[in-house]
């Protein structure tokens, strides 16, 4: 009988689902890392919310663990890389709390606009401060959304119902989807200038970290209200504290903080600062939905091998797995490659299946590719949520299949129409193709150039002009920086024309080295990719 450890508080109805499916459960909440390490070896599954933190040390001790289920969407508390290396499937419930989080953001906006917490406190102290609180009417004001995906779009719908003007910054939001939602798509600079209220609805990634920096906050209107129910680290908390003190900000309402649990914070005690302890998903409805969902998903996996809402492996049936799994791995890596080199977003995605792979169930392959593509910029995306997220963004998706492949038994090709690139501000198509050789994914085409290489965990991708001296200069540069080369693959259009170098390296190069590489006269584009 499979055995599951419930590491955070879970609905009794979810526990009953496990029992009804013949799975034993043990509930132990509040375990620290040492206690979790001691406890985890005997379990096949682990259920967590946000408090329980299965890190790399826990994974090392998890000798029997097969699956971790997150009752919710965010997986910041789970070391997914360590889980993957251990062969542990990580699942979440991507859509169970979207409405709840959107409603919390709206509630926080109203609370800040009318200074409700402070007014309530003084009223209950018997002060009756009727003249001390002059509120802000949100109707006909401009709401700026940073992120207009699953949650942001729901905030937009509710704000429009309040007669607010909504502007949205989201590199993946298409013009068509913006029109459908009734929002105006703008660049970040424009949003900062126009917004009366800013709400954030993006994951914490390298691209979004500190998106509301001190510099960006200085560009906003006096009297701005900021609401953050997304992730800590998106906003410069010290800058917000200073601007609340100076009066530049009329209010700020945060449900999340850079360090959690936030027992102390530079914002605490500031005038018209409102804090809640990460309650965005804390409604009875949302808690019940995600708990029931994770119990069903984990039971299916432990009993039949079915994988649903997995972040680190494709969703495929046990019957399909032997044939599909290698191609799903290839698709995910091709998507990740394309996403990492599409720095400014994209408008259209085309996926082409050629040869034997065209006859397989392509849905999980497409989902795996889209998950890899979106994860490069959006963080926590899995195979189930990826197609819906792409659809919500309005990005056009086209799939084609061809029964024959001219060179390989099977080939998957992805084409991404980018909004802009370093060398083409008007954008253009990025094309990649790969196949499976001896069970391993291989890349065989980049930008129309034939090139056979592997997906090294750390890969230096260089688009250059084929001129003498480039390889020597590159090798010398890496050698001087003590960056070891593991593999080296080249492709070109013609002698002296455009070329591609894929270099597998043993460590991530420093930013200074990349800046130096970028300045080589032969280099058009260079980036470190991770797989």
- Three-state SS sequence of 100-123: HHHHHHHHHHHHHHCCHHHHHHHH
Q: Which residues of the chain form CATH 3.40.50.720?
A: 1-95+281-306, 98-275
Catalytic residue among 278, 362, 375, 489: 278
- Residue 210: the pLDDT is 95
Q: Which residues of the chain form CATH 3.30.70.260?
A: 456-531
260 a catalytic residue = yes
Q: Identify the segments of the chain with pLDDT beneath 70.
A: 317-319, 321, 380, 384, 420-426
The dihedrals phi and psi of 214, each to the nearest 5 degrees, come to -60, -40
Q: Which residues of the chain form CATH 3.30.1330.90?
A: 314-455
Task: State the burial class of residue 472 (Cβ atoms within 10 Å of its Cβ: 0-12, 13-18, 19+).
Answer: exposed
* Calpha distance 71→315 (Å, rounded): 18
- Residue 404: the pLDDT is 84
Catalytic residue among 70, 154, 201, 231: 231
DSSP 359: G
Cβ(348)–Cβ(393) under 8 Å? no
Domain 98-275 sits in CATH at: 3.40.50.720
Catalytic residue among 176, 260, 356, 498: 260
194 a catalytic residue = no
Cβ(381)–Cβ(205) under 8 Å? no
Q: Which CATH architecture has domain 314-455?
A: 2-Layer Sandwich (3.30)
Bridge partners of 225, per DSSP, are: 197, 251
354 a catalytic residue = no
Residue 379 CA: distances (Å) to CA of 151, 207, 339, 386, 410:
14, 10, 12, 11, 30
- Residue 428: the pLDDT is 84
Domain 456-531 sits in CATH at: 3.30.70.260
* Calpha distance 485→298 (Å, rounded): 41
DSSP 38: H
Say if residue 261 is preceded by a cis peptide, omega within 30 of 0: yes
- Residue 140: the pLDDT is 97
The dihedrals phi and psi of 352, each to the nearest 5 degrees, come to -120, 130
- Residue 426: the pLDDT is 66
The dihedrals phi and psi of 107, each to the nearest 5 degrees, come to -60, -40
Neighbours of 378 (CB within 10 A): 22
pLDDT digits (tens, 9 = 90+) for 184-217: 999 999 999 999 999 999 988 888 999 999 999 9
pLDDT digits (tens, 9 = 90+) for 273-312: 999 999 998 888 888 889 999 999 999 999 987 888 888 8
- Residue 284: the pLDDT is 84
The dihedrals phi and psi of 286, each to the nearest 5 degrees, come to -65, -45
- Residue 361: the pLDDT is 87
Q: Which CATH class is domain 1-95+281-306?
A: alpha beta
Cβ(299)–Cβ(378) under 8 Å? no
Quick one: how far is CA 301 from the chain centroid? 24
- Residue 72: the pLDDT is 87
């Amino acid at each position: 009988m499979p055995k599951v450890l419930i590491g955070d508080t879970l609905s009794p109805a979810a526990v009953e689902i496990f029992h009804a499916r013949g799975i034993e459960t043990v509930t132990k909440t509040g375990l620290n890392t040492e206690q979790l390490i001691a406890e985890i070896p005997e379990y096949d599954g682990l259920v967590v919310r946000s408090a329980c933190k299965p890190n790399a040390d826990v994974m090392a001790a998890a000798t029997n663990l097969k699956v971790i289920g997150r009752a919710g969407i965010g997986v910041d508390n789970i070391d997914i890389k360590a889980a993957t290396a251990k062969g542990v499937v990580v699942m979440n419930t991507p859509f169970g709390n979207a409405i709840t989080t959107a409603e919390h953001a709206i509630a926080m906006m109203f609370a800040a606009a009318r200074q409700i917490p402070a007014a309530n406190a003084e009223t209950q102290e018997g002060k009756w401060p009727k003249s001390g609180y002059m509120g802000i009417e949100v109707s006909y004001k401009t709401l700026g959304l940073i992120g207009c995906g699953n949650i942001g779009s729901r905030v937009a719908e509710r704000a429009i119902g309040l007669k607010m003007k909504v502007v949205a910054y989201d590199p993946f939001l298409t013009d068509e989807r913006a029109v459908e939602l009734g929002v105006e798509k703008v660049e970040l600079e424009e949003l900062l200038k126009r917004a009366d209220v800013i709400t954030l609805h993006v994951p914490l990634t390298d691209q979004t970290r500190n998106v509301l920096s001190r510099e960006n906050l200085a560009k906003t209107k006096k009297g701005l209200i900021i609401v953050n129910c997304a992730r800590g680290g998106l906003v410069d908390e010290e800058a917000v504290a200073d601007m609340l003190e100076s009066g530049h900000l009329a209010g700020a309402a945060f449900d999340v903080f850079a360090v959690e649990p936030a027992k102390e914070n530079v914002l605490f005690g500031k005038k018209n600062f409102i804090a809640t302890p990460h309650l965005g998903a804390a409604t009875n409805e949302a808690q019940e939905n995600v708990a029931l969902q994770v119990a069903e998903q984990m039971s299916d996996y432990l009993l039949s091998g079915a994988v649903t809402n997995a972040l680190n492996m494709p969703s495929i049936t046990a019957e399909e797995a032997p044939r599909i799994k290698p191609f799903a791995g290839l698709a995910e890596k091709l998507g990740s490659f394309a996403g990492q080199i599409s720095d400014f977003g994209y408008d259209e995605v085309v996926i082409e299946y050629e040869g034997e792979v065209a006859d397989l169930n392509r849905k999980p392959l497409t989902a795996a590719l889209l998950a890899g593509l979106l994860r490069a910029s959006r963080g926590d995306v899995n195979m189930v949520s990826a197609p819906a997220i792409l659809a919500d963004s309005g990005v056009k998706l086209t799939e084609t299949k061809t029964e024959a492949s001219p060179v390989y038994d099977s080939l998957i090709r992805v084409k991404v129409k980018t909004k802009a690139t370093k060398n083409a501000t008007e954008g253009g198509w990025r094309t990649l193709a790969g196949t499976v050789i001896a069970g391993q994914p291989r890349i065989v085409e980049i930008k129309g150039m034939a090139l056979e290489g592997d997906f090294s965990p750390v890969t230096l991708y260089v688009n250059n002009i084929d001129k003498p001296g480039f390889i020597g200069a590159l090798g010398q540069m890496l050698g001087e920086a003590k960056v070891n080369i593991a593999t080296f693959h080249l492709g070109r259009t013609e002698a002296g024309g455009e070329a591609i170098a894929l270099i597998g390296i043993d460590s991530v190069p420093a930013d200074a080295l990349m800046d130096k590489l970028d300045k080589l006269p032969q280099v058009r584009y260079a980036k470190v990719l991770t797989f």
